[in-house]
Structures are given as structure tokens and as C-alpha cells.
């Protein structure tokens, strides 16, 4: 069974569109994250959620809206997509904050044209 | 600049050789972790070392932490072609426990 899954794996869309990426973990973890990895492989945290509550919002434009319907899911909705949003987005989870190892999903490669 | 910075940026070695990657960070931390990322995949956790630890081993991996120099190193002994990947250090910058900062990574290429 996949521990952390994301859908879709690839997403190609035009500027101005709205899209969502879904993430689910079956590890029973309390904490979930969204990261953005740019073309130079630099990985930057976007959001952290703990027990469905937003803990960290790392100065992400408000076009990005995470939603956690329950502890096992953390979805990412992006409005009015821009060229600079093209990247690989990773979801991750951990047992309880970053004193524990994080488990990463396979990533969603978003291409905005 | 970022909290964690690895060097070298890229490393190419022969199978069987050892590979050493270094990570420097700026603020005090609770722990430091190393992750591996194979091309086109998500990150995989390798090892976590706490701020009160100086060295940790896991199989062919050896991690050291020097909090006075704000640096860590990852040593992979007897490397294999399958070790080819990017390696990232990640720090918990002592800001409440939910913010992890990743370095830019070292790309390791092990030639068979």
C-alpha cells in the first residue's frame, strides 16, 4: 500500500486556470505538509498542517489555498495559475512535527503554459 | 540565503569509493535530517540526528553533527550505482516544530 499518494502525477494547464492537487496518507500521521520543488531542485515548504489546523503558511500567495478535510487528507487548490507556478509539488506527512521523519508522496509535476 | 546549504553541489565517484557530502546551516536547531531523492521520485528519509548527538550510523551511512560549527556531514561508504541520487539535509530551526528547511542538495553520481 502506498503510504502517501498524490493525484494527479502530471498536470499541464494554461495560465489563468484553477487546479487542485490531492494528497492522502494512510500512516495515521497527525502532520501534513506541502512543498514546492523548483527546476533547480530546491525544495521549499509551503504549508504545514497539524490535526487539520494550519500551522505554517510560508508567505505563499493567497492564490494557493490548502484544505484538510480530515487528518488523512491535505489538498492544494491553486487559483489563477501563473507561469512561475510551474514546479513539482510534494505532499508529505510525519508523526508529529519535524522531530520525526517525513514521508513524501511521489510528487505532482505542474506545467503552466 | 537558505538555512541549509550543501556542498559539493555535484559529486561523481566510482563504485566502491566513499562519498562525503556536507551541510551548513545558520540558526540553532533541534535536529537535522538527511534525505535521498532519486530522479523523478519523492524524498526518502535516511537518518535523523538530534542536536545533542555527534554521530550516527545506519548501514553504510554515517552522519556527523557539529553544532558549534553549524555543520553536518553524510558519508556513504562503499558506494554503489544505486546510490546515484540527490541528497538533501533538512533542519528543524527551533521555531515550534512544524517548519523544515531543506538545503539545495548534492547530486551524487556513482559510476559502475
Digit-coded pLDDT (tens) for B70-84:
999 999 999 999 999
Q: Do B72 and B22 meet the contact criterion of CB atoms below 8 Å apart?
A: yes
* Structure confidence by residue, pLDDT tens digits, A37-83: 999 889 999 999 999 899 888 878 999 999 999 999 999 999 999 99
Query: Which A residues 40-69 touch B at CB under 8 Å?
Result: 40-45, 48, 50, 55-56, 58
Q: A15 vs A66, A89, B38, CA distance in Å?
A: 20, 17, 30
Residue B1 has pLDDT above 50, yes or no: no
Backbone phi, then psi, for A65, in 5-degree steps?
Answer: -130, 110
Backbone phi, then psi, for A56, in 5-degree steps?
Answer: -125, 130
DSSP characters for B53-100? -SEEEETTEEEEEETTTTEEEEEE-S--GGG-EEEEEEE--SSSS---
Q: Do A89 and B42 meet the contact criterion of CB atoms below 8 Å apart?
A: no
Q: Coil, strand or helix: which one is A37?
A: strand
* Structure confidence by residue, pLDDT tens digits, B24-40: 998 888 899 999 999 99
**Cβ contacts of B2 on chain A, cutoff 8 Å:** 42
**Cβ contacts of A55 on chain B, cutoff 8 Å:** 96, 98
Spatial distance between the Cα atoms of A37 and B54, rounded to a whole number of angstroms: 30
Residue B18 has pLDDT above 90, yes or no: yes
Confidence grade of residue A2 (pLDDT, cut at 50, 70, 90): confident
**Interface contact flag, A48 B98, Cβ < 8 Å:** yes
Segment (H or E) for B35:
strand B31-37
**Interface contact flag, B99 A101, Cβ < 8 Å:** no
Q: Which of B31, B43, B92, B103 to mutate to test the interface with A (most CBs of A within 10 A)?
A: B43
Spatial distance between the Cα atoms of A113 and A102, rounded to a whole number of angstroms: 32
- Among the partner residues B40, B92, B102, nearest to A99 by beta-carbon distance: B92
Q: Do A60 and A46 meet the contact criterion of CB atoms below 8 Å apart?
A: yes
Mean pLDDT of chain A: 94
Q: What's the confidence (pLDDT) of residue A20? A: 98
Residue B57 has pLDDT above 90, yes or no: yes
Confidence grade of residue B2 (pLDDT, cut at 50, 70, 90): very low
Q: What's the confidence (pLDDT) of residue A96? A: 80
Cα end-to-end span (Å), chain A: 34
Q: Which residue has the cell 505532499?
A: A91
Nearest Cα of chain A lies from the Cα of B50 at a distance, in angstroms, of 9
**Interface contact flag, B86 A99, Cβ < 8 Å:** no
Spatial distance between the Cα atoms of B84 and A51, rounded to a whole number of angstroms: 36
Task: Give the single-character DSSP code of A83.
Answer: G
Confidence grade of residue B4 (pLDDT, cut at 50, 70, 90): low
- Among the partner residues B40, B44, B97, nearest to A97 by beta-carbon distance: B97
**Cβ contacts of A44 on chain B, cutoff 8 Å:** 102
Segment (H or E) for A78:
strand A73-78
Q: Do B86 and B36 meet the contact criterion of CB atoms below 8 Å apart?
A: yes
Cα-trace Rg, chain A: 13
Q: Do A35 and B91 meet the contact criterion of CB atoms below 8 Å apart?
A: no
Q: What's the confidence (pLDDT) of residue B95? A: 67
Which position has the higher pLDDT, B89 or A96? B89
Nearest Cα of chain B lies from the Cα of A83 at a distance, in angstroms, of 21
Q: Do B11 and B107 meet the contact criterion of CB atoms below 8 Å apart?
A: yes
Amino acid at each position: 500500500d502506498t503510504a502517501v499518494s498524490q493525484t494527479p502525477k502530471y498536470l499541464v494547464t494554461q495560465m489563468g486556470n484553477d487546479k487542485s492537487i490531492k494528497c492522502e496518507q494512510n500512516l495515521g500521521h497527525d502532520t501534513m505538509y506541502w512543498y514546492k520543488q523548483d527546476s533547480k531542485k530546491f525544495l521549499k515548504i509551503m504549508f504545514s498542517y497539524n490535526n487539520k489546523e494550519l500551522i505554517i503558511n510560508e508567505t505563499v500567495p493567497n492564490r494557493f489555498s490548502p484544505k484538510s478535510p480530515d487528518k488523512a487528507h491535505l489538498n492544494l487548490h491553486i487559483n489563477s495559475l501563473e507561469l512561475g507556478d510551474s514546479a513539482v509539488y510534494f505532499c508529505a506527512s510525519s508523526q508529529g512535527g519535524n522531530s520525526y521523519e517525513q514521508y513524501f508522496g511521489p510528487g505532482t509535476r505542474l506545467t503552466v503554459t | 540565503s537558505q538555512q541549509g546549504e550543501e556542498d559539493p553541489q555535484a559529486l561523481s565517484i566510482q563504485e566502491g569509493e566513499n562519498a562525503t557530502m556536507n551541510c551548513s546551516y545558520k540558526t540553532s536547531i533541534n535536529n537535522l535530517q538527511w534525505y535521498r531523492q532519486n530522479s523523478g521520485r519523492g524524498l526518502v528519509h535516511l537518518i535523523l540526528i538530534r542536536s545533542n548527538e555527534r554521530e550516527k550510523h545506519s548501514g553504510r551511512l554515517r552522519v556527523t553533527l557539529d553544532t558549534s560549527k553549524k555543520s553536518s556531514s553524510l558519508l556513504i561508504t562503499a558506494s554503489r550505482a544505486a546510490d546515484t541520487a540527490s541528497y538533501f539535509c533538512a533542519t528543524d530551526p527551533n521555531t515550534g516544530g512544524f517548519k523544515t528547511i531543506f538545503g539545495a542538495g548534492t547530486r551524487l553520481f556513482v559510476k559502475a
